[in-house]
Amino acid sequence: MQSSSPPVLLLALPGLPPSACAALEELARELGWALRRADGLQPAPRADELVVLMVGEGVSLPPRPLPRGVLHLVPATLCDAAVAGAGPQRRLSWPCGPAQLRDALLALRDDPTLRLDALSRTVRQRDRCVRLTPKEFRILELLLARRGEAVAREVLEAALHAWGQEFESNTLDVHVYRLRRKLPEAGLRALRGYGYVLLPPS
């Protein structure tokens, strides 16, 4: 598990007006965050970077979710514009006051959404990255796909049976216990006599 560290503010250029860049630079200094400028989003942002870009300026989002998310600054004339792309996203009409900009960035930093990476079998929540075992990952994947719904033990046990290994009656409980230890803020709850539920973000 990685320790908490200040994020990096990535300004996706071109498109951000000088006034927005100046406000973001001042805010980064105030919060103690590093700041980086880039021409678009290639190469993809790093795991510790929060992205800020301007809607309607030709910056293409990658097909896979970004590690930390995106803040779209939307010109007041386009405040109803649709924003397409992957990953947690927030919109903020520009120009705006420094307090609004600060609140939007802090909300993006603290987004509780769980983001899974099947290739590395890791899950990221806020700025924490946790490596899971294959079975832990599969259980979390199933619960996340039905977040907010009660999932019966039989459904989760069937997924574990797919490994074709010896299966004891408490195997599921052991894996879920380890998941809850690794992700104490994920909202994973036991439903006595039925199964488990992954609560929606509060």
106-128 confidence digits (pLDDT tens): 777 765 677 777 778 888 776 67
Please give the model's pTM, rounded to 2 decimal places: 0.53
Residue-number span of the structural domain to which 182 is assigned: 114-198
Residues forming a β-bridge with 94: 75
83 falls within a domain: yes
- Distance between CA 168 and CA 146 in Å, rounded? 25
Q: In the structure, what pLDDT confidence band is assigned to residue 2 with cuts at 50, 70 and 90?
A: very low
- Distance between CA 40 and CA 26 in Å, rounded? 21
Number of domains in the chain: 2
Residue whose entry in the numeric block shows the structure tokens 């036991």:
190
Alpha helices in the chain (DSSP H): 18-31, 98-109, 134-145, 153-161, 171-182
Mean of pLDDT values over 14-38 = 88
Pairing verdict, β 114-117 and 122-125: antiparallel
- Distance between CA 101 and CA 86 in Å, rounded? 22
Q: In the structure, what pLDDT confidence band is assigned to residue 3 with cuts at 50, 70 and 90?
A: very low
Nearest to 109 by CA among 83, 130, 88: 88
Q: In the structure, what pLDDT confidence band is assigned to residue 65 with cuts at 50, 70 and 90?
A: low
Residue type, 30: E
Residue 43: phi, psi to the nearest 5?
Answer: -65, 170
- Give, for 191, the enclosing helix (H) or strand (E): strand 188-191
In terms of domains, do 96 and 144 share one?
no
50 falls within a domain: yes
